[in-house]
Amino acid sequence: MASIRELHEQLIKKERSAVEITQEALDRIQALEPKLHSFLYVTTQQALEQARAVDAKIAAGEEIGILAGIPIGIKDNMCTKGIPTTCASEILKNFVPPYESTVTQKLVDSGAVMVGKTNLDEFAMGGSTENSAYHTTANPWDLSRVPGGSSGGSAAAVAADECVVAIGSDTGGSIRQPASFCGVVGMKPTYGLVSRYGLVAFASSLDQIGPFGRSVEDSAILLNAIAGHDPKDSTSLKVPIPNYAASLKPDLRARGRLRIGVIKETFGEGLDSVVEQTVTTAIDQLQSLGAEIHIISCPRFRYGVPSYYIIAPSEASANLARYDGVKYGYRAPGTDNLLSMYTRTRATGFGTEVKRRIMIGTYALSAGYYDAYYLKAQKVRTLIKQDFEKAFEQVDVLACPTVPTTAFKAGEKNTDPLSMYLLDLMTIPVNLAGLPGLSVPCGFDDNGLPIGLQLIGKVLREDQLFQVAYAYEQSTTWHLRQPQIS
């Protein structure tokens, strides 16, 4: 499918209707889903209705917004009124939200056409989308491999052209990591830029919603549509939102001096050599485009994974206490008292990884261990933040690989959760510090699997990240390659 801007042009020139564009996405979904499984729920009827509404506006001579009539996928941990929202969990199997999340409401208002709810690791816990209670999603570049996670359905759907753009959520890397594995652009905004109202909470101090696109421009347009203050989210920031897409320029020099810091601790041991080479070449390319390259040290970066895997499960254990079989969602049948109803519901409704996190989190928060684990992890979080603050005194943007490897085979890491957790090494510190981070395609390995370059920005400098990523993208051809799905 074409880009948002191209489709918008076609719509306003009446070369194509929104219904035709939507039907093209739905046809592709129907053809590819038996192989890919990117979606948990396809909203065929609603999508066509939304598209017809856009066509009616065009026919009436009304102006339409840039996203009107554009097919979009929504990660299934965002509440959509009247449409099932399962978080890929058994425990929310029958849950149909009575309200709309702020992000999806904004998208509805913009005229975007939701084609379906995309697959994820249960409650966004994981890095491969294999933790979904319903099905696993395949990587469009190699169907035997994972798309990454937890927003693997959104990333795969965009890479495979089942929709033009998609929405994901990122607690420790869940937008950037699958973007890297699937060869698309993925952005985690500054904490508080996008409202979390209606996003099913995993770890509230880390969760952030963000866009996926096949290009930097598409992602920038989508972020503009979902960013902004929301009184329904007490952590939502009250700040002006720049027009990200309008400020994109292929010439990096046009915006003045730009200093990019390469985080030295992200190179070396544990990093696949092909990822190292590819990312190094991408950084050389940024230099040739006019950026000054500096080597920067973030010595506490490597403590991100251990502190995150205390903080995130702790918050999750509190957030997931609400699933008890009483208020909504699944209730285990055949129990004869309240306590066994609670325990049976939670024992059978949650999957292994979710239960593991609830147990770790409950342990870390318990009276005797709170100081040793949770409090210490929070202190480490502050140190990591300070590393970034120091780095940003010297440079404008930081660069490193998004993930140390390319996509792995399905099933390869299922029995070893720690090896899965380690893949988050380079994305987690960004969430701990609340900063914006973006993954942009920067090459392929010998098996034809995509590799991502991660750019990390100062608080609320999404504009800078998009600008750097755009200049890079426009000087390369990686984003033009498409997976051949057979």
Which residues have a catalytic role annotated?
75, 150, 174
Segment lying near ligand GLN (by CB under 6 A), choices 24-32, 170-178, 249-257, 475-483: 170-178
- Site string (383-422) toward ligand GLN, x via CB under 6 A: ----------------------------------------
Q: How far apart are CA 385 and CA 391, in angstroms?
A: 10
Segment lying near ligand GLN (by CB under 6 A), choices 4-12, 33-41, 171-179, 214-222: 171-179
Q: Least distance from C-beta 356 to ligand GLN, angstroms?
A: 10
Q: How far apart are CA 455 and CA 436, in angstroms?
A: 8
Using the minimum distance from each CB to ligand GLN, give the nearer residue, 150 or 402. Answer: 150
Using the minimum distance from each CB to ligand GLN, give the nearer residue, 140 or 173. Answer: 173
Using the minimum distance from each CB to ligand GLN, give the nearer residue, 197 or 202. Answer: 202
Interaction between residue 360 and ligand GLN (CB under 6 A): no
One of 50, 110, 174, 402 touching ligand GLN (CB under 6 A): 174
Buried b (16+ CB within 10 A) or exposed e, 430-454: bbbbbbbbbbbbbbbbeeebbbbbb
Output the 3-class SS for the chain. Answer: CCCHHHHHHHHHCCCCCHHHHHHHHHHHHHHHHHHHCCEEEECHHHHHHHHHHHHHHHHCCCCCCCCCCCEEEEECCECECCECCCCCCHHHCCCCCCCCCHHHHHHHHHCCEEEEEECCCHHHCCCCCCCCCCCCCCECCECCECCCCCCHHHHHHHHCCCCCEEEEEECCCCCHHHHHHHCCEEEECCCCCECCCCECCCCCCCCEEEEEECCHHHHHHHHHHHECCCCCCCCCCCCCCCCCHHHCCCCHHHHCCCEEEEEHHHCCCCCCHHHHHHHHHHHHHHHHCCCEEEEECCCCHHHHHHHHHHHHHHHHHHHHHHCCCCCCCCCCCCCCCHHHHHHHHHHHHCCHHHHHHHHHHHHHHCCCCCHHHHHHHHHHHHHHHHHHHHHHHHCCEEEEECCCCCCCECCCCCCCHHHHHHHHCCCHHHHHHCCCEEEEEEEECCCCCEEEEEEEECCCCHHHHHHHHHHHHHCCCHHHCCCCCC
Interaction between residue 153 and ligand GLN (CB under 6 A): no
One of 38, 132, 171, 208 touching ligand GLN (CB under 6 A): 171
- Site string (276-315) toward ligand GLN, x via CB under 6 A: ------------------------------------x---
- Site string (218-257) toward ligand GLN, x via CB under 6 A: ----------------------------------------
Using the minimum distance from each CB to ligand GLN, give the nearer residue, 124 or 187. Answer: 124
Q: Least distance from C-beta 73 to ligand GLN, angstroms?
A: 17
Q: Which of 31, 248, 148, 150 is nearest to 452 (CA)?
A: 148
* Separation of CA 130 from chain center: 16
Using the minimum distance from each CB to ligand GLN, give the nearer residue, 44 or 205. Answer: 205
One of 97, 173, 261, 437 touching ligand GLN (CB under 6 A): 173
Q: Least distance from C-beta 175 to ligand GLN, angstroms?
A: 7
Q: Least distance from C-beta 307 to ligand GLN, angstroms?
A: 12
Q: How far apart are CA 251 and CA 20, in angstroms?
A: 36
Using the minimum distance from each CB to ligand GLN, give the nearer residue, 353 or 396. Answer: 353
Using the minimum distance from each CB to ligand GLN, give the nearer residue, 90 or 170. Answer: 170
Q: Least distance from C-beta 348 to ligand GLN, angstroms?
A: 22
Segment lying near ligand GLN (by CB under 6 A), choices 63-71, 169-177, 216-224, 332-340: 169-177
Q: How far apart are CA 96 and CA 329, in angstroms?
A: 9
Half-sphere exposure of 276 (CA within 13 A, CB side): 10
Q: Least distance from C-beta 5 to ligand GLN, angstroms?
A: 29
* CB-nearest residue to ligand GLN: 174
Using the minimum distance from each CB to ligand GLN, give the nearer residue, 313 or 325. Answer: 313
Q: 91-150: which residues touch ligand GLN (CB under 6 A)?
A: 124-127, 150
Number of shown-chain residues binding ligand GLN (CB under 6 A): 13
Q: Least distance from C-beta 483 to ligand GLN, angstroms?
A: 23
Interaction between residue 424 and ligand GLN (CB under 6 A): yes
Using the minimum distance from each CB to ligand GLN, give the nearer residue, 218 or 315. Answer: 315
Q: How far apart are CA 123 and CA 159, in angstroms?
A: 22
Q: Is the Cβ–Cβ distance between 198 and 230 less than 8 Å?
A: no
Using the minimum distance from each CB to ligand GLN, give the nearer residue, 173 or 183. Answer: 173
Interaction between residue 172 and ligand GLN (CB under 6 A): yes
Interaction between residue 211 and ligand GLN (CB under 6 A): no
Binding footprint of ligand GLN on the chain (CB under 6 A): 124-127, 150, 170-174, 202, 312, 424
